[in-house]
Amino acid sequence: MVLRDYSIGINAETDEMIAWRREIHKNPELSGCEYRTSNLIKNMLSEWDVKVQEFEEHFGVIGILEGQPGPCVAIRADMDALPVTEENEKPYKSINQGVMHACGHDAHVAVLLGCAKELSKRRGLIKGSVKFIFQPSEEDSPEGGARMMIRDANLKFPEVGMIFGLHVWPDLPTGTIGLRVGPMMASSVRFQVKIIGRGGHASQPHYGVDAVAMAISSISEIYQTINRKIDPMIPWTINIGKINGGERYNVIPKEVVFEGAVRAFDVKIQEQIEKIIRDVLMSITRIHGGEYNLKYNYGYPVLKNHKEPTDIVSEVGKEILGNENVFSEIAPVLASEDFSRYLECIPGSFFLLGCSSSSNGLSSKLHNSNFHLDEKSLLLGRDVLINVALRALETLST
């Protein structure tokens, strides 16, 4: 068991992981484009004599550390960034305009690299094998990178008995973790609406069909109707996060496209929201004389933690951090994660790693252009995952 005083701040090991994280943060890559990050990972794993598995159709990487004969556990990190323009003024600010690690995947990679390096020093003492899964395209809902990695048999050869993962979480302070058995993160839907009108001159609106006017009415009515049609005691959320349309200031716009996301723990709620959206679009476009097209794509399933692996995370967390710093019955969150696809295949657990420090004011919310995190959380995440993997191997061996 790796035990340490996490109040001492940054040390040599933390400093190393911070350097990795900042290098990745400075060079973010979107889903499906993680070429540089993938090469960095492969080079480091090879340096530590960890067997590397790569793929032709995507930039995912698997590291396999073989110890003594025995079972196999896996630890997963995602590595893609978001199409967000960074507003931080840090020396390691993104150099790729319009691309940013605003969801902490750079930290996840650094933590998993730390696990691989530390465990590679102990390979002779490990009772089994550990797979380090560096997954691309987690942000690419509704498909996602987990499905590609599972398709390419990364859970076999050797066969994985348990899998674990984490997500940095700015709603929790550094030095804590949050988890729960059963449903912990929501399922996702990604939808796109195309409103089709008829273009014309702004001075003659009666000859056109204004797509912007229809879009504005539709968005307003969707929000209002859903709030009145769905039980407010049921957890769900909808967000319309992107809208494009129009050609010129004095031209009646003929087409507008807007996109959004729905999160819920019950597929019936997602189906009900789809019906509401469709009914609203049909009504408003009919009144105006326009048309619509709706693509409502069901994405990641509900993330459901298995009991035995979650108990392992909770026990290890309490031993390292103290009972008071492990929230083992944290409330479910409406964020979604394609780690849920692994949990549909094998037992495992996913937990939230606190990364907020009120003393330095570095933390902000996920998917924000100012997102940052308390980097001391990296060492904590590494040590929890290392000891969870070792404890899981012991459990699978009995």
DSSP codes joined into one string, 199-251: -EETT-GGGSB-HHHHHHHHHHHHHHHHHHHS-TTS-EEEEEEEEEE-S-TTE
238-278 residue pLDDT tens? 999 999 999 999 999 999 999 999 999 999 999 999 999 99
Tokens of 72: 């196999």
**Radius of gyration in angstroms for the set of CA atoms belonging to the chain, rounded to a whole number:** 23
343-367 residue pLDDT tens? 999 999 999 999 997 655 555 789 9
Catalytic positions, please? Answer: 300, 375
Residue 357: the pLDDT is 77
Q: Is the pLDDT of residue 14 over 70?
A: yes
Q: Is the pLDDT of residue 61 over 60?
A: yes
Report which residue type is found at 60.
G
Bridge partners, residue 238, by sequence: 262
Bridge partners, residue 356, by sequence: 173
Rounded percentage of the chain residues whose pLDDT exceeds 70: 95
Rounded percentage of the chain residues whose pLDDT exceeds 90: 89
Tokens of 6: 């996490």
Tokens of 210: 């204004």
Residue 157: the pLDDT is 84
Question: Once rounded to an integer, what is the mean pLDDT over residues 132-156?
Answer: 92
Domains belonging to the chain, first-starting first, are 6-185+303-397 (3.40.630.10), 187-298 (3.30.70.360)
